[in-house]
Structure 1
Amino acid sequence: MQIESFFDKGLAQLTYAIISEGEIALIDPARDPSPFFHLENKYNAKIKAVIETHPHADFISSHGEFSLHQVKIYASKLSEVNYEHVTFDDGDEIKIGAIKLRAINTPGHSPDSISVLLEDETENPYAIFTGDTLFIGDVGRPDLRENSKDSATLKEKLAGKLYHSLHDKILKLPDNIIIFPAHGPGSLCGKSMSDNLSDTLGNQRKENYALQSMSESQFIKLILANQPFIPKYFTYDVLINKLGAPRLSESIEKVKYIESINEIVTDALIVDTRSSDLFKSGHIQGAINIPNGGKFETWLGSIISPDETFYLIASDDNILEEVLLKTAKIGYESKIAGAIVLQKPSGIQSKKIEAKDVIKADDKYTIIDVRDSNEVASEKYFLNSINIPLNKLRENVHSIPSGKPIAVHCAGGYRSAIGSSILESTQIEKVYDISESIKSLEALPKIDNLKK
């Protein structure tokens, strides 16, 4: 038996392949299926099963592609999916070579979550694939069903179910079992994940804050506190995953390529993925700069709603291909009205400003802090700054006072590049990006919000 993991750092998402005696089972496969098909040649084996631990909110699964290859797809009967599948719930098992995979219903992150217990060749529990139920250092957030009819109380109900899934099921397993979660550090499906991607249950029993001794009510209060924001695309991805996404290659082939910026419709939404420096040296008026980086997918789906269409700009053909794939990871490739390469700066220019110059005359600027509210609560750089988290900035531009130049900052420069471009796109004059110069203030004492 062998276990291979595939970590998508951009979405902090993990796919697992279990290989035994010429057969392969996949758990939570990412949108691009090609690395998993390569396993068949590598191990001279066949993919026999694909298991979905739940309909994912933060990425598009490739399970639909495997069904086209007559691979059986397994999902809980509670998931209410609309694709052909085999139900996989408490008491069900799948035999892969000489090992067995057993389903355990573990609701909490979602009402339909399952975990998958792996029994080795000697029928002893060896590992558990916990999906979004249990992470290393954390547990899955239970507040992602905000659009449900009873969303006001559903998150408390799900948090209670999560408590029992952990204490009545997972924590009953032996300490030597290895935990393989669906996400690692950087995922918005939890709030304090470890840098480690796997661990034993025994270690997590001691080290994971959410597994310590506490009552159900204490657990609910603890888990629901200080969760990160919910990107706009999460609900959309759940719906796509319940239907089954189209084949990746065919979907990307449908994207329209344009040769000139003159083909872009007037007042269209434009996402420019070039570096912030290149964008600032010259860009199309009204464009939003979301630089191609480690978290491009997350910020694209946090700023752009799934009911919007947009044009996509990249600096060369290779990067355009890369951002198209990243866009497809969250199911937004069908939202692209046109894609184009722009290599030379042209059009409107944007400005930066040094953090030290703002701090010397902060009363002359309206300072917008686009970090998450949890970050601002722990440290603040400018006393008179206004906190509007980046994911809410487009909807709250009207709340920004007029009359002063605007200076935008985050913690390192990536989000402020996006935020300043959003404000410029609304034709606000004199917008400055504090950019990476904010790091120069790290040696100075931060403002403790709790004392103000």
Structure 2
Amino acid sequence: MYIQQLYTGCLSEAAYYIDSEGEAAIIDPLRDIDAYVRLARERNATIKYIFETHFHADFVSGHLDLAKVTGAPIIYGPRTETNFPIHLAKDGELFRLGGVTIEVLHTPGHTLESSCYLVRNADGTPHALFTGDTLFVGDVGRPDLSSGNMTQEELAGLLYDSLHTKILPLPESVIVYPAHGPGSSCGKNLGPNTHSTLKEEKESNYALRDQTKEEFIKAVTDGLLAPPQYFSINARINKEGYGPLDEVLQEGLTPLDIAALKTWIKEEAIVLDTRRSDLFVAGFVPGSISIGLDGRFAEWAGSLLPFNKPLVLVTAPGEEKESVIRLARVGFDKVKGYLEGGFPAWQEAGEPIDLIIDVEPDELAMDIPFDPNLLVVDVRRETEFADGHVKDAINLPLQDLADPGNMANLDDKFNLYVHCGGGYRSIIAASLLKRQGIHNLRNVTGGWGKIKDQKGIEVIKEKSVLN
């Protein structure tokens, strides 16, 4: 038996390839399926099954395209309802894959249809458990994303039962392969690794400690942040279906000259610039939104961009296809093309440009005492802000900037100094502020990582939030 984890860092997502004796299975594939098809071909295996652990909320799965290409059935666990053909597995149902078997364990809690897949060796001994969003390294799936008519507390109770009746009784040697790693919003605080063992999880995972159901429910529901706006959209897409990725690519990879780009702008298209932040700040098409491919691109695109408006792209040379694919992974199917020649073509044509001024933390330190209109805008999460921030700074988390109304109290009477943790999010925020007509701003390079050590800047903590 061969198992390979295919991990996508910008989504903190893990898909899996398994094969045995020339037969392969894919678990939780991404929308771009080439890697799975290629891997099976390289290993002289035929993809026999496509297993889905649940309706994913943070990405669009590749189950439909992969089934079309391979002819393999799409398998979901009990209580699944879709608008496309699936094999609706029973709890405990076995699937033969070469010399091994895969057993369905229905584990509701994260969602009602959530299921884990237990791979058993040829002698029947449990080897590995593909847990989806039921069990992570150091965490469990949040119970507030897809509840039907149930409360998050009721779903958390189901999750407790699932863990204690289906997972904890398994041998401690079983390898745990979750659907997500650190940084995912599908849990509260996932650990640093992307796989583990049941023994390690019993020893270190707060949700698996010896506790009552009531204590468990409180532990997993306390402190849940609001999920990103695109989660409900992606879950619906995965349930109802979607168009082929090839069609999305064909339209998204349409080269646009400057006149065509301007026409789309008049049609209220969003200009999305996917270049690195250092390139964006030096010059960009006015009104563009910056979300660089070098960070958590798909997550922030899904959290900040509207799904009902067309997108046109400005990219670095050769990154057009990557940009369209990453957008498609979270459900953006309205990409209408990219600016041919990129930003240099726009600039060389003499078109108007905008830019963002970068300043170092020492310049911020020098300006604070002498500028009564200086306002530090910290776009980190509330918990990050509470753990330490510039005195008198305001906290405007980046995810909240999806709503322009949250910028209403910021105008050009303020001299805004925008920062995040390291610099990626603050450039996105600055582009959103400029798009709303707020131009009197500077980006503090290095973010909080440098600001906190800068002499002359007073920093404080919000103890009431942290306690």
DSSP 3-state at the match of 1:265: helix
Out of 349, 354, 369, the residue aligned to residue 348 of structure 1 is 354
Residue in 1 aligned with 2:334? 335
Work out whether residues 412 and 440 of structure 2, in 8 Å CA contact, stay in contact via their aligned partners in 1: no
Counterpart check, 1:306 vs 2:303:
no
Deviations 1:256-315 (A, max 9, x none): 431214343235422111222322222222111112213111111111132232222112
Q: Deviations over 1:33-86 (max 9, x none)?
A: 111112332222211100100011111111102322321111124121111111
- 1:55 corresponds to which residue? 55
Provide the rounded CA distance (Å) in 2 between the counterparts of 1:102 and 1:357: 61
Q: Distance in 2 between matches of 1:23 and 1:340?
A: 43
Q: Secondary structure at the match of 2:17?
A: strand
Give, in angstroms, the shift of residue 92 of structure 1. 1.2
Q: Which amino acid aligns with 1:48?
A: K
Equivalents in 1 of 2:166, 2:115: separation in Å?
11
Contact map agreement 1:232 1:306 (CA 8 A) in 2: no
State whether structure 2 residue 202 is matched by structure 1 residue 201: no
d(CA) in 1 for partners of 2:411, 2:263: 35
Gaps of 5+ in 2: 348-352
Determine the structure 2 residue equivalent to 1:231.
228
SS of corresponding position for 1:60: coil
- 1:179 to 2:192 alignment: no
RMSD: 2.0
Residue 292 in structure 1 maps to residue 293 in structure 2: yes
| Compared CA separation, residues 94 and 433, structure 1 to 2 (3 A) | same
Partner of 2:129: 128
Partner of 2:350: none
Contact (CA 8 Å) 1:28, 1:51: kept in 2 or not? yes
Structure 1 residue 446 displacement after superposition: 4.3
Q: Distance in 1 between matches of 2:412 and 2:221?
A: 36
Select which of 349, 374, 382 maps to 2:383: 374
The letter for the 1-side match of 2:360 is E
Mapped partners of 1:89, 1:399: distance in 2:
55
Please state if 1:247 is matched with 2:257. Answer: no
CA contact (8 A) 1:275 1:291 kept: yes
Distance (Å, rounded) in 2 between the aligned partners of 1:263 and 1:320 = 20
Within 2, Cα distance between the matches of 1:187 and 1:204? 18
Q: Following the alignment from structure 2 to structure 1, what is the Cα–Cα distance between the partners of residues 158 and 437?
A: 48
| Alpha-carbon distance between aligned partners in 2 of 1:173 and 1:311, rounded to the nearest angstrom | 50
Q: Aligned equivalents of 1:180 and 1:15: distance in 2?
A: 9
1:383 counterpart residue number: 391
| Residue number in structure 1 paired with 2:19 | 19
Distance across 1 between alignment mates of 2:464 and 2:56: 40
1:437: Cα distance to partner?
5.2
Query: Per-residue displacement from partner, 1:173-208 (whole Å, max 9, x unpaired)?
Result: 111111111111121111222222221101110111
Identify the residue that residue 434 of structure 2 maps to in structure 1.
424
Alpha-carbon distance in 2 for matches of 1:451, 1:75:
44
Give me the identity figure in percent. 34
8 Å CA contact retained: 2:289, 2:431: yes
Give the AA of the match of 1:376. F
Separation (CA, whole Å) in 2 of partners of 1:446 and 1:164: 45
The one-letter amino acid of 1:223's match is: V
Structure 1 residues 335 and 231: CA distance shift in structure 2, 3 A: farther
TM-score using structure 1 length? 0.93
State yes or no: 1:212 paired with 2:209.
yes
- Paired with 2:397 and 2:244, the residues of 1 have a C-alpha distance of 35
Distance 1:60 1:394, change over 3 A: closer
Residues 411 and 438 in structure 2, CA contact (< 8 A), matched pair in contact too: no
Distance 1:321 1:87 in 2: 35
> Aligned residues, how many?
445
Separation (CA, whole Å) in 2 of partners of 1:14 and 1:398: 39
Task: Say whether the 8 Å CA contact 1:109–1:162 is kept in structure 2.
Answer: yes
Inter-partner Cα distance in structure 2 for 1:326 and 1:292: 9
